[in-house]
A and B are shown apart, each in its own frame.
Chain A
Amino acid sequence: MKNLYAKLGFIVAVVALFTFFALPVKEKIKLGLDLKGGMHLVLKVQTDDAIKIVTDQAVLQMEEEMKKAGVKYDRVDRSGYDKVVVNNYDLEKERDMETIVKENFSDWTSSSSNGKYVLTIKPNVALQIRDQAVEQAKETIRNRIDQFGVSEPVIQRQGIGGTSDSLLVQLPGVEDPQRVKNLIRNTAVLELKLVQDGPVGTKEALLSKYNNVIPEGTEIVRGSAGREEQGFYLVKKVSAITGADLKDASVGKDEYGSPAVNFRLKSEGSRKFYKVTSENQGQRLAIILDGIVESAPSINAAISDSGIIQGHFTYDQAKDLSLTLRSGSLPASILYMEERTIGPSLGADSIRTGLRAMVAALLLVIIFMLVYYKVSGLNAVVALILNTIITMGALAYFRATLTLPGIAGLILSIGMAVDANVLIFERIREDLRAGKSVKSAIDDGFKKAFVTIFDSNLTTVISAIFLFQFGSGPIKGFAVTLIIGIAASMFTACYVSKVIFELDMSLRKKVNTLSI
């Protein structure tokens, strides 16, 4: 009897614990994207871009070094994304070239033929750059998402051990998918460059002013279309300051009261900015965002530590821009590989229908068990209800995500949980028919059925594990609920049910019959 109380106490404690985990359900159970609404994105970081940037820098450095060493050459170009090509260099200075490469370009392999000197980035270095680019992109995107304010976002690198160049981004509850997508993908490369000429209506017209040759140290950029800035500008190649010099950016208003972005500079940046603005008063400064001139105000006075970006923004655009500037620029452009957006009302519908199906299934099974197994059926029903509570509690405890297929898994595990009870009850019935006493029939029934239950449940768990391994979000949710549901049913059907039978027997004085 004492033993029985201990068992009962244990069961109550377990159930209480899991109830505590699960309550209040609305807060504790994490809903998946398909129920809550939101976005699921898989994006690929174009890591070639990152290598291209490194190669571009190498081109500039090569030019500089060759000038320093007095080696004559025609042109230094980037070829592909990872090659620096020196055209028509002074072949007699081969040795000098070797010294330059040895001293400055240890990350590159060199070769020369037909008057061309080619540097190629080493594969391991390229791999490292790619890896860094993806990591940096991940951090930048995380920053942006955090600042935008999404609760419980998932931002992960995919692939085995997180080595691939694609990122998984899950944003539950996001209601403005388009806006968030732009926010994530905005490379937000900010450059401030001195304007040499422009804007001119077409590129050709601009070029013709310079005999169709772009003057040394300058480049042509496009102005923002459909505004007074449209057209083409000739600007200095070297930036006065870039996004990297920013300390902070925030939404503000320009002199006409329309939304704009205020920025403040880090100390080194403000020194640079002061120098440029004081030396070039009266000239214009192009504010270039992602390669497009947003505005080109004249420099009226020397500025050191702050400025404003005007660009006919709406309030939200200005807010998002300041956010992306704060979070830093992406090291490479981004391509969307997969996108799933579930509207909030569809999610709400799914929860409703899912719950309806679950309640219906539960009721149907309960009625059936009561009719078929009479009083013992009640035992199974108790086990079933406890099973549901424990499963919910476990879901909450493991912070598992409940998805729509997950609800299906819960419903399915109702059917499967009952299976354990059915197996046991059928064994007991057989033994009773064979003339065994109620007590030994119950003992034997549980003992014999347990092996079968264990075996058969394990196979379901095996398939669920592989589903979890290979599946994506919603499917993972299904696998998890199924596994948890089955584990819970082992406890409720094999342990709780038995204790209930024992309790029943201890309460009755004489045990001759069993309602089963």
Chain B
Amino acid sequence: MEFFKDTHYKFLKIKYWAFALSFLIIAGGVVSLIVKGGFRMGVDFQGGTLVQLSFSQETPINQLRDKLGNLDLGSSTIQKMGGKGHEYVIRTQATGSSKQAVESMDNPGEVAQKIVDVLRDDEEKRQIAAGKLDLNLAEPSVVKNLLLSLNGGDEAKAAAAAEKVLEIKKGNSGLLKTIDQVPVSLAGVSMSKLREKAFIGRTAIQRTEVVGSQVGKDLRRRATLATIWALAGMMIYIACRFQIVYGIAAVLPLAHDVLVTLAFISFFNYEISLTVIAALLTIVGYSVNDTIVIFDRIRDNIKKYGTKMDFEDMLNLSINETLSRTIITALTVFMTVLCLYLFGGEVIKDFSFTMLVGVISGSYSTIYQSCAWVGIWEKHKQKRKEKAKLEAAQKMASEKTLPKKAEEAVAPVAPKAEAKPKAKPKAGKKK
């Protein structure tokens, strides 16, 4: 099977349309950022608290929001996670040096606890008021201690039962469904006794993340540094392997890819986190990879055809020759990233979304940014040379006889192919 056999698409003919499209997307991103007041920064970069909770039953987000309003947490957001189960992520910001922020930093577990407490319904509140332990919220050691106090001090039995409870929770988003799931016989405890002392709440804490604002600043700095260094490293590498122009023409589109991807992140309201930065850098790597393959081919073709061919035609030829590979690779990478997006779970959804956009942008930018810029540069160089030639001719003409000047001036209109510039565009060192 072959999708692209001997194609002759004139890709670069519509390069200005492509520029316009890129510009539109990036401008749209800027507008979206202005409207939304900047990116949604994850706790990684901003500092703050994140709590992921799972509920045993459908819980309307509005209800959660109302209840959280009772808690003085500063600005907080609630987001429903997709996938199975009823999971929510609640984020609060670290508000600098405020007392509350310091306290929440000091004891993040307590913030999570506070959030859970405020979300409880009346039935749960009654149970807690009666001094019962919420088995879904209790840490394994607490469960063990409870069983220990009920079974007359049999350490081993209590530990084994607590372990079993944890196993069951692992299989079900951290939740026990009913109290009957507790292996009472294993623990050596009677169910009625357990019921007196414990109940099953509807919430479990899946993860908590607390990042101090200082750490957030540090992580932000490190992410920026990593991105800048990666871009610089690549530019230097390509400049060494090809020409400085190619280095720039390969790296500028990376900025394009990053900007386009960021625009989509803003459109779809994803948040900037460490994993998103990792994805951005991977895209940078991938996009360069793509660019290099085509540049390699351009280098080959320059050797093969020299300057017999119009440079833009040569670019088009190189793009067409590698088109099959570009598309197939983009397709396979896209397929894998799509699998990641569809099946990879909620925790890395932001990562896979970023990759998804980036892969498309990366393939597109190789043709419509890298190649287009190289083409524009070479054309500019050629024009400059022709202009210089023309000026030289004019100078010569004016030195000879004045009246002939008009005739001479017509010369440069001749087809480009005939006007052979003396210096060949050199592309890279030979191996």
Contact = CB atoms under 8 A, between A and B. Distances in A.
Interface of A: 34, 42, 175-179, 181, 314-316, 335-346, 348-350, 352-354, 356-358, 360-361, 364-365, 368-369, 371-374, 404-405, 407-408, 411-412, 414-416, 418-419, 422-423, 426, 429-430, 433, 451-452, 455-467, 469-472, 474-475, 478-479, 482
B278 interface: yes
Given A337-B214, A466-B281, A412 B173 contact: no
B421 interface: no
A466 B348 contact: no
B282 A412 contact: yes
A258 to B, nearest CB: 12
Contact of B204 (A343, A430, A433, A456): A343
Contacts of A357: 339-340, 342-345
A459 B238 contact: yes
B56 to A, nearest CB: 13
B292 interface: yes
A343 B212 contact: no
A360 to B, nearest CB: 4
A371 B204 CA distance: 47
A412 B329 contact: no
Interface string B203-216: 01111111110110
B340 A467 contact: no
A336 B107 CA distance: 8
Contact of B141 (A316, A408, A452): A316
Interface stretch (B13-21, B226-234, B303-311): B226-234
B230 A342 contact: no
Contact of A471 (B106, B226, B340): B226
Given A336-B210, A357-B340, A422-B325, A344 B166 contact: yes
A182 to B, nearest CB: 10
Given A364-B336, A371-B1, A356 B351 contact: no
Given A405-B351, A467-B230, A368 B335 contact: yes
Given A461-B285, A472-B219, 18 more contacts: A177-B139, A178-B139, A342-B206, A350-B347, A369-B332, A372-B1, A415-B332, A415-B333, A426-B324, A451-B296, A452-B293, A455-B296, A456-B289, A459-B237, A464-B281, A467-B281, A471-B274, A478-B278
A360 B222 CA distance: 34
B274 A475 contact: yes
A346 B286 CA distance: 30
A469 to B, nearest CB: 7
Contact of B337 (A34, A415, A419, A464): A415
Contacts of A414: 336
B170 interface: yes
A230 to B, nearest CB: 22
Interface in B316-334: 321-322, 324-325, 328-329, 331-334
A336 B108 contact: yes
B140 interface: yes
B179 to A, nearest CB: 18
A418 B352 CA distance: 19
- What 5 A-B pairs have minimum CB-CB distances, sorted nearest first? A353-B345, A460-B285, A470-B226, A415-B333, A415-B336
Main secondary structure of the interface of A (DSSP, over half): helix
B292 A456 contact: yes
A422 B347 contact: no
A30 B328 CA distance: 34
A353 B348 CA distance: 10
Contacts of B281: 463-464, 466-467
Contacts of A345: 169-174, 204, 206
Given A346-B206, A456-B289, A316 B145 contact: yes
Contacts of B339: 357-358, 360-361, 364, 411
A340 B277 CA distance: 19
The DSSP consensus for interface residues of chain B is helix
Contacts, number: 258
Contacts of A451: 296, 431
Contacts of B296: 451-452, 455
Interface residues of B, number: 86
Contacts of A314: 145
Contacts of A341: 108-109, 207-209
Interface string B420-431: 000000000001
Contact of A470 (B139, B223, B335, B347): B223
Contacts of A465: 233
Contacts of B108: 336, 339, 341
A187 to B, nearest CB: 14
Contacts of B67: none
Contacts of B170: 344-345, 348
30 contacts: A34-B347, A175-B140, A177-B208, A339-B210, A341-B109, A343-B204, A344-B174, A345-B173, A346-B52, A346-B206, A348-B170, A352-B345, A353-B83, A354-B344, A357-B340, A404-B347, A405-B278, A411-B339, A412-B336, A414-B336, A416-B333, A419-B329, A419-B333, A455-B292, A462-B233, A463-B230, A463-B282, A464-B281, A472-B219, A475-B274
Contacts of B169: 344-345
Contacts of A464: 281-282, 285
A405 B348 contact: yes
Q: Which of A339, A457, A478 has the most CB of B within 10 A?
A: A339
Contact of A463 (B208, B285, B335): B285
Contacts of B109: 177-178, 181, 341
